[in-house]
Amino acid sequence: METKDLLEILSNGNGVSGFEFNLKNEIIDAFGKYTDSVRLDRLGNIIAHKKGSGNGAVKILMAAHMDEIGFMVTDIDKKGFIHFTNIGGIDPRTILAQEVTIHGKEDILGLIGSKPPHLQDQSEQEKSIKMEDMIIDTGFDKEALSELISIGDSITVNRKMISLLNNRVSGKAMDDRAGVAALFETMKELEKINHHADVYFVATIQEEVTMAGALTATYGINPDIGIAVDVGFGRTPELNNSNSIEMGKGPGVLLGGNIHPGLRKRLVAVAGDYNVPVQTNVWPGPSGTDARAIQITREGVPALVLSIPLRYMHTSVEVLDLKDVSHTAKLLAFFSASIEENEMEGLLCF
């Protein structure tokens, strides 16, 4: 399977935080082709293990979260309209008039609507519409809808991945299924390379709400090095160099409090050795990625973050460059191959 094909399957699928199990078969099947073992842990993380020549003397964990932002049914009113809330961080301005799928006993299509502008007074027209003032219209009345949908059912935006010009794609949930796709391509790269370290590839759950998946997976694996593969803010006209990274120029290598300086130095050096383009991505505090959970598990795990540039994050039209996924995978593979047991103490010293 090509990496783009897997990304399309995952982007088009549904797996809001807490409902990631809908994607497990596709990820397990893909990961299983290029690793020695794949398992599903108690919380639903998918953990693939690729053995190195060092018989487990060094363990590297690479994590990318498979959950997406979305919605949840909170009520069905007497006229059959669905009221809902968000799961994960969503800007209400991006969801009005979107087509959605409610994942009940069967998938039901609906549309997010609100009061027409013609009927709004002046004060309403000057303000953004709040999520609690929106409804989902499916065409069903309350009685029929209640047979198909229950309070607590998940909802996703009904959007399919599309190909754009210049090797770019757009769709929902690229945050962070692009990261999962990068892990998949890393596995394929490591098929060609001798590596001493054992590598654990983890598709984590619930990063958007609790980071519970990264916490428990890291605790169980107890790695020597942890790497979160996530997305960063792709540059658009309103953003500046300090808070965004360019599309098509490789992953951002995070620099900040979450990041181990010695490992970051090695990562950048490896990128230079193999001509993999990288960018500096500055984040002075906790990164807001699985690296935060990885770093503070057990006695602490030295952590890194690679950020795939992504435009329009947390919308249904996220845009990324497939070259950046490929660059990320190559860097992860070459970095893993550079790690030897006899240098770990020096590498991790401050």
Q: Token pair of 188, please? A: 């394929």
345 has catalytic annotation: no
Distance of alpha carbon 288 from alpha carbon 254, whole angstroms: 12
Torsion from C-alpha of 294, 299, 304, 305, nearest 10 degrees: 20
Task: Look at the block and give the residue holding tokens 């590498």.
Answer: 347
DSSP string, 136-148: EE-S--HHHHHTT
Return d(Cα 154, Cα 310) in angstroms, integer: 25
**Catalytic residue, candidates 8, 68, 185, 207:** 207
Rounded Cα distance between 201 and 194, Å, is 17
Cα 316-319-321 angle, rounded to 5 deg: 155
The C-alpha atoms of residue 156 and residue 187 are separated, in whole angstroms, by 29
DSSP state letters, 89-153:
---GGGTTT-EEEEESSSEEEEEEE---GGGS-HHHHTSPPPGGG-EEE-S--HHHHHTT--TT-
Are 303 and 61 in contact by the 8 Å Cβ rule? The answer is no
Active site members: 207
